[in-house]
Amino acid sequence: MQGVILLGAGGHAKVVLEMLQLTQTPVLGVSCPLLWAQKVQQWRGLAVLGDDDALTSYNPQQVKLVNGVGMMPQSQARYALFSKARQAGFEFINLVHPSAVVSPSVQLGQGVQIMAGAVIQADSNIADNVIINSRALVEHDCVIAAHSHIAPGAVLCGQVTVAEQVFVGAGATVIQGINIAAGAVVGAGTVVVKNLAAHATVRGGSALVRLSHAISGEQ
């Protein structure tokens, strides 16, 4: 491998670039349509290689990719970029921050990003293109499907199942054994105490009320 190409140049890409530097991963440059359109030649010390079509100049057998696009609720940008590059034959490397704690029994897909201070406990399974963001906690036996984002400080208790393209917001807590279906959004600070249907959105206030009712025995 000659090195990696970073896709995107936004806020998430800044953090990812610093992880690449910490792990001494050689970076060939950055691909970003916005910078390319503005004729910017360098970004944070990296050469700007072009827009999304810049990859056509590279051999997938010789370079690998890093997805620098973050994942916001119901956004398809990160998923679309990953899927297009994979169809072209490129592979994405996994990135694990040196301060993260990942059990040896954890299974990781391709293009997984585990940020500073995150913890992933025994026998969890993290699929392709997932972000486990700063200080997030994924407890034992959790399953997180592809293209999902566990935001900073979120907690998944044991045996939680998260389907594809789910967003779990900053500081949210999902109690043990919960299933979150595809495309669901858990708002910041929300406590999730019941399964969520596909594309459901739940936010802090109502979820906390349900929790208090469950404790008191009210319906």
How far is residue 167 CA from its own chain's centroid?
A: 9
d(C-alpha 201, C-alpha 30), whole Å: 34
Whether 140 is catalytic is: yes
Phi/psi of residue 56, nearest 5 degrees = -65, -15
Given 140, 149, 199, 213, which residue is catalytic? Answer: 140
Please provide the DSSP assignment of 85-139 as one string. HHHTT--B--EE-TT-EE-TT-EE-SS-EE-TT-EE-TT-EE-TT-EE-TT-EE-
d(C-alpha 181, C-alpha 60), whole Å: 33
d(C-alpha 136, C-alpha 116), whole Å: 9
Give the residue carrying structure tokens 């690449």.
20
Cβ-count burial 56-76 (b if 16+ within 10 Å, e if not): eebeeeebbbbbbbbbebeee
Contact residues for 181 (Cβ-Cβ < 8 A; gap 6+): 163, 166, 195, 196, 197, 198, 199, 200
Residues with catalytic roles: 140
